[in-house]
Amino acid sequence: MSLKLYFHPLSSFCQKVLIALYETETPFEPVLVDLMDATSNAEFQKVWPIGKFPVLRDEAKDRTIPESSIIIEYLDQHFPGKAPLVPADPDFARQTRFRDRFFDLYLNVPMQKVVTDRLRPQGQNDPSGVEEARGLIERALGLLEEDMAQGKTWCMGEDFTMADCAAAPPLFYLDRIKPLADTRPHAAAYLGRLKARPSYARALKEAEPYFNLFPGG
Ligand SMILES: N[C@@H](CCC(=O)N[C@@H](CS)C(=O)NCC(=O)O)C(=O)O
């Protein structure tokens, strides 16, 4: 098989890419990276010394492709599905990329800050960093709520795009921390549609056995 995905099923950025792989129906070999295991970690560091996953390896072309958004662009270009994940129209493409950045930087990264702080040894927590992350999440959710109140099915309208791949995992984990429906009904309904999408439903099903590792259960 030409493609290998270095990943962990629980990781939000890896789920983002899994959604794209399932949307495009691209065959790949999954390589599970266990950062707690020295051998697995060392093997992965050889592939991508930065040590962040997901990473895609295209063995046929001897290419290493890190970064979830870049991987999705690569899939769209070299292994396209029935519909593009980054629209062909340049203006729609730019808006899709903006929303992808929005979900990564203002929901996913701060969500990880809140969650991983719970894993830090006692006395090494970062309350002000977590406070800042929570503020950013609230502002981003407020904007998403306004956006989804417009009655769209997906983030970019009626077409499922890379922006939806980016939105699903952080929204799912944020909803576990604090139910979205309490204050953000449109974002909650959007998450409901994302969870019902077969590509994300499959990624979630595969993550289920690892949910006990999620801090707070
Ligand atoms: N900008 C990267 C972020 C990747 C990232 O933060 N991955 C996390 C897992 S969700 C990771 O590798 N964490 C392990 C670590 O930081 O040691 C992307 O979009 O792929």
The pLDDT-based confidence of 215 (bands split at 50, 70, 90) is confident
Taking 70 as the threshold, does the pLDDT of residue 139 lie above it? Answer: yes
Q: Which of 15-29, 32-46, 201-215 has the highest mean pLDDT?
A: 15-29
Q: How far is CA 123 from CA 112, 115, 126, 200, in A?
A: 19, 16, 9, 37
Taking 80 as the threshold, does the pLDDT of residue 216 lie above it? Answer: no
Peptide bond into 54 cis (omega under 30): yes
The pLDDT-based confidence of 214 (bands split at 50, 70, 90) is confident
Torsion-angle region of residue 123: left (phi > 0), alpha (psi -120 to 50) or beta? left
Using the mean position of ligand 1's atoms as its centre, give its distance from the Cα of residue 108 in Å.
10
Give residue-wise pLDDT tens across range 141-190: 999 999 999 999 999 999 999 999 999 999 999 999 999 999 999 999 99
Taking 80 as the threshold, does the pLDDT of residue 124 lie above it? Answer: yes
pLDDT of residue 93: 98
Q: Is residue 112 a contact partner of residue 155, using CB atoms and an 8 Å limit?
A: no
Q: What is the dihedral of CA 100, 105, 108, 112, to 10 degrees?
A: 160
Please give the number of the atom of ligand 1 that sits closest to the Cα of 12: 10
pLDDT of residue 213: 87
Taking 80 as the threshold, does the pLDDT of residue 1 lie above it? Answer: no
Which residues line the pocket of ligand 1, CB cutoff 6 A? 11-13, 35, 51-54, 67-69, 104
Cα(47)–Cα(63) distance, integer angstroms: 10
Give residue-wise pLDDT tens across range 77-87: 999 999 999 99
List, in sequence order, the alpha helices (H) in 120-184.
Answer: 127-148, 162-177
How many CB atoms lie under 10 A from the CB of residue 18? 27
pLDDT of residue 88: 96
Q: Is residue 181 a contact partner of residue 138, using CB atoms and an 8 Å limit?
A: no
Please give the number of the atom of ligand 1 that sits closest to the Cα of 104: 19
